[in-house]
């Protein structure tokens, strides 16, 4: 089987010979630290691809660093860009109170126990109603701060 390097790869060669790898296709789950003993062979695969079947190759494939030679990653990249550009979801972060409980020494907060005014609440409702026809709600993400 022929494998080629992914277009989504990023790597950093450390001064101690170790190698840090990241695949933007996979994300955080792809982060790998390669020992100095294995970094040269891994870099060779990431630059040239390979034809072998080994545990290392399987790991690189699973983490997204190499792909099958017939994979069209440019289409995947284009799809992901269009997905972000064409996203018509509405994302709101509402802070019903400005009271912070972290209490940083440099904070500008006065730590009042205020709450969101009714005028602001009504404005948010008005905004959502006005833009409702322009958006689609794929899912709601609720965060409590």
| pLDDT for the residue numbered 142 | 43
Cα–Cα nearest to 59, from 40, 69, 77, 45: 45
69 shares its domain with 23: yes
Decide which of 106 and 3 is more confident: 3
pLDDT tens, 58-91? 999 999 999 999 999 998 888 888 877 776 677 7
Alpha carbon distance 56, 144 (integer Å): 42
Q: Kindly state whether residue 80 falls inside one of the protein's structural domains.
A: no
Is the model's pLDDT at 1 over the cut of 90?
Answer: no
Q: What angle do CA 3, 41, 33 make, to 5 degrees?
A: 95
Within a domain: 79: no
pLDDT tens per residue, range 6-59: 999 999 999 999 999 999 989 999 999 999 999 999 999 999 999 999 999 999
Range of the domain at 96: 85-145
């Amino acid at each position: 089987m022929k494998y080629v390097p992914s277009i989504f790869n990023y790597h950093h060669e450390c001064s101690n010979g170790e190698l840090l790898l990241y695949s933007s296709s996979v994300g955080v789950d792809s982060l790998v630290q390669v020992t100095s003993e294995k970094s040269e062979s891994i870099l060779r695969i990431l630059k040239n691809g390979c034809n072998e079947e080994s545990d290392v190759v399987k790991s690189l494939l699973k983490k997204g660093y190499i792909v099958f030679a017939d994979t069209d990653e440019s289409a995947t990249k284009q799809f992901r860009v269009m997905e972000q550009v064409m996203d018509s979801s509405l994302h709101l972060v509402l802070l019903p109170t400005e009271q912070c409980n972290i209490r940083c020494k440099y904070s500008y907060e006065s730590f009042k126990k205020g709450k969101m005014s009714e005028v602001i609440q009504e404005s948010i409702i008005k905004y959502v109603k006005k833009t409702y026809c322009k958006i689609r709600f794929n899912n709601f993400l609720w965060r409590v701060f």
